[in-house]
Amino acid sequence: MHWLVGLMSFAIVGLIATGFYLEFRPALAPRLRNLFKPALAVQMTVFVGAMFGILALGIGDAMAQPAAVEQVVTEVSVGLGLAIIGVGIPTALSTIGAGIAVGPIGSAALAAITEKPEMLGRSLIYIGLAEGIAIYGLVVSILLLNRI
């Protein structure tokens, strides 16, 4: 697996080195510049070639499963599944409520700010109070999740 990280590092270093080479020494690479006019094409060719090398050589290591790991399987009952769904309901409903509240408050705040710029602080407080509804729902969900 270390060789895979090394090959990825080589791809990134090759990308950077090709960019510097073509940027600072364009006269030393006439064939390369004639073949690939923009430096981005050369950089992308080196990078894509290295990524295909990683894909061809490293797919076995990336997809390998460790042999000595025991998997603990816990079954989820219907009651536990319904409890987890019930934990998510307060967050969902409070987020919907906060979205419904922030819409009119935000548009009214923008209208008030355009007329009186000194109302910015008060309007931000009202918008923050409306967004706090979602945070209350998240706190309730966290408290319920700790009870399961």
> 56-98, pLDDT tens digit by residue?
776 666 565 566 656 666 777 778 888 888 888 989 999 999 9
Each as own residue / partner, the long-range contacts of residues 95-98 (CB below 8 Å, 24 or more positions apart, any chain) are: 95/134, 95/137, 97/133, 97/134, 97/137, 98/130, 98/131, 98/132, 98/133, 98/134, 98/137
Q: Could you tell me if 127 and 105 are in contact, meaning their C-beta atoms sit under 8 angstroms apart? A: yes
Q: Could you tell me if 18 and 46 are in contact, meaning their C-beta atoms sit under 8 angstroms apart? A: yes
Q: Could you tell me if 24 and 78 are in contact, meaning their C-beta atoms sit under 8 angstroms apart? A: no
Domain residues of the chain, as ranges?
A: 2-63, 78-147
Pick the more confident residue, 17 or 3: 17
User: What pLDDT sits at residue 94?
Assistant: 92
The class that CATH gives domain 78-147 is mainly alpha
- pLDDT tens across 29-46, in order? 666 666 656 666 666 777
pTM for the full model?
Answer: 0.46
Q: What is the mean pLDDT of residues 103-110?
A: 91
- pLDDT tens across 10-22, in order? 777 777 777 777 7
